[in-house]
Amino acid sequence: MPLASQRQHWGVYLRLSTVDKPRPGSETADNSAMSKLSDLRKSYEQGELDESLAVAEPLLQFRQWFEHALASDVHEPNAMTLATVGADGRPSTRIVLIKAFDERGIVWFTNYDSRKGRELAANPFAALQFHWVDLERVVRIEGRVERVESEVSDDYFRSRPLDSRLGAWASPQSHVIASRATLVGNAAKAAAQHGLNPPRPPNWGGYRLVPQRWEFWQGRKSRLHDRLSYRLDEAGGWIKERLAP
């Protein structure tokens, strides 16, 4: 190897090895990085959420905030954390994209045999969370999860780009695979088998979370944040309450 590229090679190696293995004596630097971490804080001053202004229906409140997030150019306003709990009682989270919402609930699409799919089959309760960082807003939604009607999944599947539709066939989501080549090979097989019009895989479709509890969080100054909770009463109406931050 010529010297110049050898130096380059070692340069890369040294940079990586410095990251991987801190040298003796570098603990001070690590500690100061950690103390900076504990100093990280910001003041939340973008807005407020008053119970007299918040609407009676949490779905309408959500619509207002979601439309505002879409219009505000925040990154991935439609990305939400989905928390599930498996049969072993242990929680797990991942990000999914909201694809629809109405009075029936909040909809996303995925692989029914994935980890989340298996956990939801064992325990059909879940929690969703949006965090619109730039707006200093969080929405939490909890409830029971059901599969959407197969026509709803078919319609949405048909609307996806071809590579996404083939990808749904190619990926045994959440299962161990030997290598990336397995995925690429599966995608090529799916393309050869289904051409330009792949049908929806039977194990791929939508879920709908039917809300039983909502919370809207607006960051405020001095950690005196606004939190409005909506929970169902026995007659199916919504009780709106302020929670302490």
Ligand X SMILES: Cc1cc2nc3c(=O)[nH]c(=O)nc-3n(C[C@H](O)[C@H](O)[C@H](O)COP(=O)(O)O)c2cc1C
> Active-site residues: which are they?
223
Task: Name every residue whose Cβ is closer than 8 Å to that of residue 238 and which is 6 or more positions away in sequence.
Answer: 56, 57, 58, 230, 231, 232
Residue of 245, 209, 243, 216 whose CA lies nearest to 57: 216
Q: Backbone phi, then psi, for 122, in 5-degree steps?
A: -80, -30
Nearest approach, Cβ of residue 180 and ligand X (Å): 15
Nearest to 138 by CA among 43, 239, 226: 226
Give whichever of 57 and 113 is closer to ligand X, judged by the CB atom.
113
Interface with ligand X (CB under 6 A): 76, 79, 92, 94-97, 108-111, 114-116, 173-174
Expressed in angstroms, the distance from the first to the final Cα of the chain is 61
The residue (of 67 and 76) whose beta carbon lies closer to ligand X is 76
For 41, 52, 117, 129, the CA distances from 67, given in Å and listed in that order, are 28, 20, 29, 16
Could you tell me the two tokens for 190? 């799916």
Least CB distance from residue 139 to ligand X, whole Å?
A: 16
Cα 179 to its chain centre, rounded Å, is 25
Please report how close the Cβ of residue 171 comes to ligand X at its closest, in angstroms.
9
Rounded to whole angstroms, the Cα distance separating 49 from 35 reads 33
Measured from the CB atom, the residue of 119 and 226 that comes closer to ligand X is 119
> In the chain, how long is the greatest CA-to-CA distance?
79
Hey, what long-range contacts does 25-33 have (CB within 8 A, 24 or more apart)? none
CB nearer ligand X, residue 68 or residue 115: 115
Q: What is the DSSP letter of 7?
A: H
CB 67 to ligand X: min, Å = 20
Question: In whole angstroms, how far apart are CA 138 and each of 23, 56, 216, 219?
Answer: 41, 18, 6, 9
| Minimum CB distance to ligand X, residue 103 (Å) | 22
Task: Give 156 or 238: the residue with its C-beta nearer to ligand X.
Answer: 156
